[in-house]
Structure 1
């Protein structure tokens, strides 16, 4: 069943979302050449403790980290460790979450570590992030779930083809409902599938994690023996961006954005819902 939230529950999710934003801010600053992904996990743990929040990744299905750290050709679910040391030119996706009073926040960013990135790699991250915002802009009362999928895919397909030949939209992973659990119905594809139909109607109180994952090449993936780390089959680099969003009677509220999504949504001609925390 799809969980519909009350305004009070959305306010709790906003609290959790701001903790996630704080984790990303701290981890972005710490993601420098020479730092290990375990160093970033420890930064996330300290930030959670400072905000009296619980991690929603640690222990989830046996996952051993507070955050997921996915480097270069790792698409999602990279496990933090001491052996993975960041270097200039790396592309790092940080997926983080937090729980406040039983309510979840979940978001991901892609960080360009140090210097030396190609224009193609920088553009990959930009295209992925902007496709997420295109999906957020399509999160409108009365529309259908597939309208979000279409907005994400359409944005990516409209971009100039990279020298690598294509932007591969990862098909095996996608967005999801979020609230009293981190992963809930409905599952949100980042492309349009005729098999899935139009999906549910979008109504106030629905909360989604919108998260496109895009590869700079073939989108086929495989899971490593640790049963978590997802890599591209052809070794192409990837980017992952995600926000948790609540649909309210007064429009969308980006729960994991510091400003609630006001600036980005305004640029897209959309007024963000008022922040319940003021």
Structure 2
């Protein structure tokens, strides 16, 4: 009995030592996966403030808190189990799913650019009417649904980066990435939507320099939101195009990603310049892919519209 207990304790100690030795690997993997998902994170941060515009300032942070909790539920209760099951049962599907998600990002980015080109970007939406509590609930629900798509892409990127790790380590990394990304995104969103209130507060108090800073913040808020939207749009194309190019590396179309790498290296051997050129080419490729998806989606919608008109009495 004693020897059995001693052997059990030895096994527990060995497992503890193994877990401790793996913590550094887990932390490094989580950090690397979070960085790779940065493009989607930027887009998530740029998109979310639009869901709380038009509501009273005192409701902005509670709405963001509810969206953040919904985002964490999306990641931990829906996407994490699905990702681990996929990794355990059908790991070969990770890359195709990533590419589908990348194509969706390209579609979103290209569609936003087309809206700007055709003048839709500048049109102001009509103010929504109805019970404020009901409108708030609808906005929060819509934001959480949108977050599910973006969070799925973040989790897929993180999963692909740790696919060779043991299943328990994949789970820990995905949990860490989920928490870090959620805190980062919605902490930044909370700060962004409150910048104008902070500016007003500073403009009414303190010395002349502080008041000038406050007035500048209030004036710059529309520009900041517009810049964020543009950055998010470019990030979608860059990340989506990059994901698809990476997925094509071991396919009959491998010449495309190799061409991008060769073009980046031909411009300069400096790391930051190579990365910048590669990101730019990925974004251009993503835009072209997005245009193709937009054309297909609009063609399908047109055919469905004709069919509905044909079958309606």
- TM-score where L is the length of structure 1: 0.24
Query: Which is greater in Rg?
Result: 2
Q: Which has the higher contact order (CA 8 A, sep 6+)?
A: 2
